[in-house]
Chain A
Amino acid sequence: MAELRALVAVKRVIDFAVKIRVKPDKTGVVTDGVKHSMNPFCEIAVEEAVRLKEKKLVKEVIAVSCGPVQCQETIRTALAMGADRGIHVEVPAAEADRVGPLQVARVLAKLAEREKVDLVLLGKQAIDDDCNQTGQMTAGLLDWPQGTFASQVTLEGAKLKVEREIDGGLETLRLKLPAVVTTDLRLNEPRYATLPNIMKAKKKKIEVIKASDLGVDLSSKLTVVSVEDPPQRTAGVKVETTEDLVAKLKEVGRI
């Protein structure tokens, strides 16, 4: 059977259920003391990698995350779900804001080559920036085929069959390996990490490296100018009859 190796990228983001608050100085959102978790789409990517391993199609699953030291918790969660080992590309907290899809893609591309993996799995996008770029950029830098928004992934001989969710419905691609796949919501339902695996995960290795060790430049040409709340929705007005409605619309100059 195929003896493939998979690299799964996971991102630590503010938990999906948390109410986001913009910082008063408008430089970003409040992250201090706020609950963070693994990006839900990344979780789906880890689950898919572990399932491929359980089907004996993948031999080793490596989980990687770029960011400050807390990213190691996210890598541990991936290990508890079944990943074999982790790589933490450490970025000091002060610089973490400037690490965007292009920087992460550069890191992943280098790691994919260093670790000689056959498959790079990522979530389709992160719920904090909604960029939906990292997977695509990684494939571009590696010059590998990509199957994005995957809702089904199967191995057919030496090729990867990826069913993608697109606006018109579903598209099926067959990709030569090595390839990059980004996961969409319907691909799978991530497992609960069970206690025995959580305990085992503590003993699994997480290698800590810097981007410079890979020869990657993390500089960015983008600056965040300001972060603001979306405008408050003003209250609606209720009217009694259609005549009232037409009069009101004329009054506010809409018709």
Chain B
Amino acid sequence: MVGGSVPVFDEIILSTALMNQVISFHDVSGILVCQAGCVLEELNHYVQERGFIMPLDLGAKGSCHIGGNVATNAGGLRFLRYGSLRGTVLGLEVVLADGTVLDCLTSLRKDNTGYDLKQLFIGSEGTLGVITAVSISCPPRPKAVNVAFLGCPGFAEVLQAFSTCKGTLGEILSAFEFMDAECMQLVGQHLHLARPVRESPFYILVETSGSSAEHDAEKLDGFLEQALGSGLVTDGTVGTDQSKAQSLWALRERITEALSHDGYVFKYDVSLPVERFYDLVSDLRARLGPRAKHVVGYGHLGDGNLHLNVTAEAFSTALLGALEPYVYTWTAAQRGSVSAEHGLGLRKKDVLGYSKPPTAVQLMWQLKALLDPRGLLNPYKTLPAHA
């Protein structure tokens, strides 16, 4: 999305696709050690057969490499429940710019010996070192998964539903996603996906994962009764079987696809305080008026991550000018992140300053100079040009 792994001038492309072996899997601890070129979906199948799942899941699972996931600190759909790769990655093997092989590939849950170097490389977008192997902690495979898709009358209700979810579902909540009415209209129009509930201004998808079907069903029923009874939710449905659950997820997972059919898409991925979440979408809609075809908001509400997308018949510099830096200054005013999960790459390196102070950027330049003095690793990306 930000061109982080796209060669732009004179780079040599390095692919880890052939480094696709699982090195080891410990089936009591769930710790997987594998090479960086393993495809996420294949790793998921591998650990699933042994009663575990990967701690992250994203739309590109069929083709993305785990090394790339770590280098970009990928978020995804399981983030709410299992947390960031910064917590689940236990060790890395990294090759530095001078060819030194840094072996920090331990599989220890706790290791406070010195500075935690792997954290430098996680999310560094390949600019500080090349990740060649990963040691990662996998959670047990849930025995019961439920998906509920609900309609909310307003954004305030969406937020209250989120609080209620956390309160009543507690530890079994594994995903809380939201989408607005425009998203639903677009997936219906371009992908012919049927709306499963009454038309509403907002829709939320709630997923629970646990070890006991009865326990989870009871908790989910409790939440649904409460939500319906208090008017937080005006309609909803529960995926009674796997294919229904998958259809409900598709409504959320295929929004990107539907948007691409609508015209040229300007994409923004920001972290904001949840109370102000949708205000950016409404403000932008008012600001752009008929210049934009659609302005939509959806995303990982549970993680405070909004995907804001604007479609138009075609790209136009005028529209871009109306969007940027407006979206960035708006986000910065809320002390939000201008790139919640997609990184900076090529396209966003110059907006780093909206979410990090100059002293932080200065330190980043120093680290880059220390680890890659000749600028060999993924040049032209991530950090703005040194002043």
Contacts and interface: CB of A to CB of B under 8 A. Distances in A.
A94 interface: no
Contact of A18 (B196, B198, B228, B242): B242
A193 B237 CA distance: 6
Contacts of B150: 195
Interface in A1-46: 15-18, 33, 35, 37-38, 40
Nearest to B225: A199
A35 B242 contact: yes
A103 to B, nearest CB: 25
B196 A192 contact: yes
Nearest to A18: B242
Interface string B181-200: 00000000000000011100
B241 A15 contact: yes
A198 B326 CA distance: 45
Interface residues of B, number: 24
The SS class assigned to the A binding surface is: mixed
A128 to B, nearest CB: 14
A40 B34 CA distance: 39
A37 B240 contact: yes
B241 A17 contact: yes
Contacts of B144: 35
Contacts of B244: 192
Contacts of A193: 237-238, 240
Contact of A17 (B221, B235, B236, B242): B242
Contacts of B213: 35
Nearest to B248: A192
Interface in B144-159: 144-145, 149-150
B113 interface: no
B172 to A, nearest CB: 15
A196 interface: yes
A80 B238 CA distance: 10
A199 B143 CA distance: 25
Contacts, number: 56
Contacts of B224: 195, 198-199
Contacts of A192: 149, 196-197, 237, 244
Interface in B274-332: none
B228 A195 contact: yes
A115 B195 CA distance: 36
A154 interface: no
Contact of B243 (A16, A80, A199): A16
Given A33-B143, A199-B225, A194 B235 contact: yes
A77 interface: yes
Q: How large is the interface on A (under 10, 10 to 19, 20 to 34, 35 or more residues)?
A: 10 to 19
Interface in A92-146: none
A194 B242 contact: no
B290 to A, nearest CB: 35
Interface string B211-222: 001000000010
A142 B385 CA distance: 84
A192 B236 CA distance: 9
Contacts of B235: 194-196
Interface in A160-197: 192-196
B242 A37 contact: yes
A17 B242 CA distance: 6
Contacts of A38: 240-241
B233 interface: yes
A40 B243 CA distance: 10
Interface string A72-101: 000001001000000000000000000000
Contact of B228 (A37, A77, A196): A196
A15 B239 CA distance: 12
B347 to A, nearest CB: 38
Given A192-B197, A199-B225, A17 B237 contact: no
B160 interface: no
A77 B240 contact: yes
B246 A17 contact: yes
A72 to B, nearest CB: 12
A46 B235 CA distance: 21
A253 to B, nearest CB: 37
A108 B40 CA distance: 48
Interface in B203-262: 213, 221, 224-225, 228, 233, 235-238, 240-244, 246
A195 B196 contact: no
Contacts of B221: 202
A17 B228 contact: no
B238 A198 contact: yes
Contacts of A198: 224, 237-238
A80 B196 CA distance: 14
B241 A16 contact: yes
A197 to B, nearest CB: 9
A208 to B, nearest CB: 18
Given A17-B243, A35-B242, A194 B237 contact: yes
A16 B244 CA distance: 11
Interface string B165-190: 00000000000000000000000000
A115 B45 CA distance: 49
A41 B225 CA distance: 29
A199 B221 CA distance: 9
Q: Which of B198, B233, B241 has the most CB of A within 10 A?
A: B241
A194 B197 contact: yes
Contacts of B238: 193, 195, 198
Contacts of B233: 195
Nearest to A76: B240
5 contacts: A33-B143, A35-B145, A35-B241, A192-B237, A196-B235
A-B CB proximity, top 7 nearest? A17-B242, A37-B241, A195-B236, A192-B237, A192-B196, A15-B242, A77-B240
Given A35-B213, A35-B241, 4 more contacts: A33-B143, A40-B243, A196-B235, A198-B237
